[in-house]
Amino acid sequence: MRIVPKPALDGIFVPNVTPFTRQGNLDVEALRTCVRFWVENEVSGLIPCGSNGEAPYLSREERSKVTSIVLEEVNGRIPVIPGTGSLSTQETISLTRDAENLGADAALIVTPFYYELTNSEIMAHYRTVLDSVSIPIVLYNVPKFTGFSLDPRIIDQLARENEQVAGVKDSSGKIETMTEIIRLVGSRISVLAGAADITLSSFSIGSKGAVLAVANVFPATCKRLYDAFRNNRLDEAKRLQERIILANDLLVKKYNQLSAIKEALNTTGLPAGYPRRPALALEGEEKMAVREFVKTMNESDR
């Protein structure tokens, strides 16, 4: 069995957005500016080309370019874990090899989507990918987007079989699912929460950290929540969790999160640009609601 160095997977990770121009082209300089902002706010790592990075709308070449830019800007200061999952096993292997060749610290691989697959097919998919690459792998469960929830028993079996499995991001939003995953694999790999609503609860039951969409906009607030919990400042942690839930309710649940997260970043002065079509930029009342919320959040941080 191959023994592969694994990155530290604890703390707050940003599933970072991919800035596009109004015409839908990748905005390289805007991406560099945003990366510098996240790194300066001392997040634990970046996850480009994930759900919030609009990975399904990116070509293979664009994914490589985004990953390369993020790696260059980060310059080894924090782990970079690009999303490399796709519909087919073959494409997932190609994307993961690209990330490995670019020097990524690990790869985040979502469950295949579109077709309904059996547990045996999901297991075979991950096994084949793991056998085809040497980079550490973080499994990714996000039923909101895939329509499929990764069985915790699969996570357990893959972690037992292969040292490359470094962690799992669970975005089910269900504390009972997190509890079962942690029970099975929490002592062997990093379990990361992918839903803002249960971030503090997940810390309490043993998750190592969280990958939060709202950390794109409020990285310092999310990091303060993590630090407060780790230092047993639980009252502070609860207050910060409440604020993060408010942000998540608006930016992730109420509106198209691709559009809302970018509008929130643009409001703070960061060039997140536009979502790629078919997603549309927020307008009118929706745009004003996001701007007012960001202003209120920022004022309360002073």
Tens-place pLDDT, residues 94-116: 999 999 999 999 999 999 999 99
3-class SS of residue 161: helix
Tens-place pLDDT, residues 112-135: 999 999 999 999 999 999 999 999
Instruction: Check residue 146 and give its pLDDT.
Output: 94
Instruction: Check residue 5 and give its pLDDT.
Output: 77
Catalytic residue, candidates 65, 169, 208, 223? 169
Tens-place pLDDT, residues 174-222: 999 999 999 999 999 999 999 999 999 999 999 999 999 999 999 999 9
| Residue 3 pLDDT greater than 60, yes or no | no
* DSSP letter (8 states) at residue 141: E
Please state, for a pLDDT cut of 90, what percent of the chain lies above it.
Answer: 95
Distance CA 280, CA 277 (A): 6
Instruction: Check residue 1 and give its pLDDT.
Output: 43
Catalytic residue, candidates 6, 65, 126, 140? 140
| Residue 168 pLDDT greater than 90, yes or no | yes
Please state the domain extents for the chain.
Answer: 11-233
Instruction: Check residue 260 and give its pLDDT.
Output: 98
| Residue 298 pLDDT greater than 90, yes or no | no
Question: Which CATH code of 3.40.1010.20, 3.30.565.10, 3.20.20.70, 1.25.60.10 fits the domain covering 11-233?
Answer: 3.20.20.70
Distance CA 122, CA 154 (A): 8
In this structure, are strands 165-170 and 137-141 parallel, antiparallel, or unpaired? parallel
The pTM score is 0.96
Q: Is residue 77 within 8 Å of 39, Cβ to Cβ?
A: yes
Average pLDDT for residues 267-284, to the nearest whole number?
97
Distance CA 142, CA 60 (A): 21
Both tokens of 96, joined, read 């993961």
140 has catalytic annotation: yes
126 has catalytic annotation: no
